[in-house]
Structure 1
């Protein structure tokens, strides 16, 4: 069989010398690779497996010593044979330096072809034998791996089981157990103790003690499982609750499998318990969220329906504009509540949203602390503010450039008092009757929130005061100190 050729790298900056080396080494029958500089030699080494390097000591930029040092720094080429060719007389110091840099031999110039071929042939054969030895080592390793394969296969299931058990113990969500059906002995792993909230030192595993930890409503699950195994069932799975000694209730799913003897009689039952409490809680939260979304959607639709039903106007266009404005106000507060996950809305944010459509510059002044409103309060108050802004923009202070509006609010014992004061606008006259939208929507302050509204139609501008409870408990408190004589009229207007 022909021997596999090896690669021999020839490095010299003079083409004539490279050609001479090729002629001398041609008869060896190996692959000759040419490099005309040290850098080119490094590039070749990174791409090609080289058996022997023949390198000239004297080269510009990167001489043979420097090249050898760089080659030896790379872990892959630390054992590659390097032969130096020197055209000058090499002193012992230079020769020692070359050996320190990684040279294995020197060839002086003029080169004796037979000597050069002999040296290259020796190192090429050494490389080839080394490679053959490496292959033999690989084959030996393969045989060793093959001989241990049966042992690994026989222990694979045990190792996988142990890994699962370790992961379950680490996560605290899974445990395994074993029940000797004949003797009644139980064996629990650490995860099983952790799920049940007991410790191996203080808890003796017996049928009675295990049953005592089951939720009273789920004890029948254990009896049913025992009955099923006695009937010949080989596997059983069920969900159940446990009642830990500290009073905490945990949801679990248990899977059990029976081992039988030759006669088919159950002799052992083994199983796994998984704590699924978090999954159960997530399902409950999801169901609650679905009901909450349904409730909020119905509320929003009910409000929209009321707006459409109660809005009055002499013309279709006026009716459309009124409905559209109120629906948009409802939509804006809905967006604010959605961004807070329906936890509530800030009063200043509601006012800013209602101000957004107007370019009023310094006509409006706001003053008041940060107030967080409940969702229902925010919706009702947003519609009331919308009516006040709309009426002011049409007929009041905001209808002229000279008009001014001051809105301030304060909180005292969970009761919000908001003052709306207009000035500088058209002369105000007390209306003979209030607008339907204003009456109906402000009536909701009293009927829905348990608050109060007061209007003072001053000549210089409207003064409106609203009292709004901030908690449901406050909403049931005593009536406002403000005059409530018009409450009945507002209720009739909204009915």
Structure 2
């Protein structure tokens, strides 16, 4: 009996040992499996974090009840913070959101319901250093059994680079549209301002001026609008008059690359001088010659046009249209001046063109300003014109006068218009883009004085400064009827302010 008891005890001990070994084996296996699973989960989380970081993304959660935040490294990187999420309150995170976008985010959260718990929005954040970043935010809400919001979680994608690319593309598109409209307005001004003794003469004059603009446009396009070589510009403009041996035209001067506005101005001025010489001056006979020389001193370019050997000429009794274009365009586009000296055998003309803003000529009232001011008493409204394109300014002034009003200007920039802006005015027409500056300071002066004005621009309305979007806009090229209707809107506002 005792042997049997010991035998059973031994057998059970062996069984217990076997069970223990089996349990240990299973524990080891389960532990290894758990470690492998944990490692895989960790790797997965690391891969997710790397993917989010590579995509400039971050994930986050908010416990609505406790106000406790949690987020990953990607979100911390977007916020540009090394503070722990637990250190942030709801108010702290709200301060990170751009003030103009906070109301939209509040509305987004308020619109979440148990049946519609996912939302997305684009919003800006402001980093501690003041840098603004654009973010695309996708949020999902969790609701408790009683329908109360309990948790919000989501992902944030930094889309700043995409937004900047879009802004550059939009800016480029607006600039292309602006340049195209401005070019059309310049051509329209040429058509309107050109006079001719016959249809044929008028057609030739318009074609010649448009061809001069097209020529300089080709030169600028070849140089990607970085500038035009002055020697080449002059040489190609005068090539048709050089004669079979090229001896009728002599050009020479220092090497110089002109920025686009000055190149266009000089091209148009040379065209007018050459056309006049071909009609009445040294290029109207077989013996006459033209020399064009230029030099730069103290930041000022002086181009001298000299005719010789032509028929006897007399100074004109009044300025012709060509000389008006030269004077107005050189003054308006460059801040320079044109000087005419009529010699017996041809014209001696100097174009004085500052190459630097500090070298600009003293401002002088142009002929259009003096003539319109002299007749102001017989006009209806005194309307200031601020336009940096000389031809557009001249054409607009002519239209305003045809409509029975007085023109103050046209002025090419804010500096020369400053005195007039403080003077007696009834209304104003402002080009938005004035080359290196914008007309908004003038608009603010007029708005503060209660003087009505309209914008005349090649830009679309949504490109205007937000402060002035309620003011009327005329898009270039402008039509006479559209300008007339716009000016009519001045009268009620003037009566109201009176």
Same fold (TM over 0.5): yes
Q: 1:180 deviation in Å?
A: 3.5
Aligned residue in 1 for 2:271? 386
CA distance in 2, matches of 1:384, 1:409: 14
1:439 matched to 2:292:
no
| Match among 81, 106, 122 for residue 223 of structure 1 | 106
Structure 2: gaps of 5 or more residues: 1-35, 375-390, 399-498
Instruction: Give the deviation of 1:410 after TM superposition.
Output: 2.9
CA distance in structure 2 between the aligned counterparts of 1:211 and 1:355, rounded to whole angstroms: 67
- For residues 196 and 253 of structure 2, what CA distance do their matches in structure 1 show? 34
C-alpha displacement at 1:245, in angstroms? 0.8
What whole-Å deviation, never above 9, does each CA across 1:404-437 have from its counterpart, x for those lacking one?
A: 43322233444332111233x3244224446834
Give 3-state SS (helix, strand or coil) of 2:87's partner. Answer: coil
| SS of match in other structure, 1:419 | strand
Corresponding residue of 1:368 = 254
Distance 1:167 1:408, change over 3 A: farther
User: Does 2:185 match 1:302?
Assistant: yes
> Cα deviations across residues 202-235 of structure 1 (Å, max 9, x unaligned)?
9934323212211122223443344344666421
For the residue of structure 2 that corresponds to 1:385, the secondary structure is: helix
Q: Which residue of structure 2 lines up, in the alignment, with residue 459 of structure 1?
A: 344
8 Å Cα contact 1:253/1:273 also seen in 2: yes
Aligned partner (choices 418, 424, 438) of residue 303 of structure 2? 418
Query: In 1, Cα distance between the equivalents of 2:301 and 2:146?
Result: 81
Q: Residues 451 and 468 of structure 1 are in contact (CA less than 8 Å); yes or no, is this contact kept in structure 2?
A: yes
Deviation at 1:268, TM superposition (A): 3.9
Q: Distance in 1 between matches of 2:40 and 2:146?
A: 29
1:144-159 matches, within 5 Å, as none
TM-score, L = length of structure 2: 0.56
Distance 1:448 1:428 in 2: 32
Q: How does 1:73-152 map to 2 (within 5 A)?
A: none
What is the CA-CA distance between 1:327 and the residue it aligns to?
1.0
Q: Structure 1 164/199 Cα, relative in aligned 2: closer, same or farther at 3 Å? A: same
Change (3 A) 1:476 1:457: closer
Consecutive unaligned residues of structure 1, counting only runs of 5 or more, are: 1-151
Larger Rg: 1
Q: Post-superposition shift, 1:324?
A: 0.7
The higher-RCO structure (CA 8 Å, 6+ apart) is 2
The 3-state SS of whatever aligns with 1:322 is helix
- For residues 238 and 413 of structure 1, the distance between their equivalents in structure 2, rounded to whole angstroms, comes to 56
The 1:194/1:310 distance shift into structure 2, 3 A limit, reads: same
Q: Any conservation in 2 of the 1:176–1:273 contact (CA below 8 Å)?
A: yes
Please give the alpha-carbon distance, in whole angstroms, between the structure 2 residues aligned to 1:157 and 1:309: 77
Q: Quickly say closer, same or farther: Cα 1:350–1:487, change in 2 above 3 A.
A: farther
Q: Distance in 2 between matches of 1:260 and 1:380?
A: 69
Q: What's the TM-score once normalised by structure 1's chain length? A: 0.57
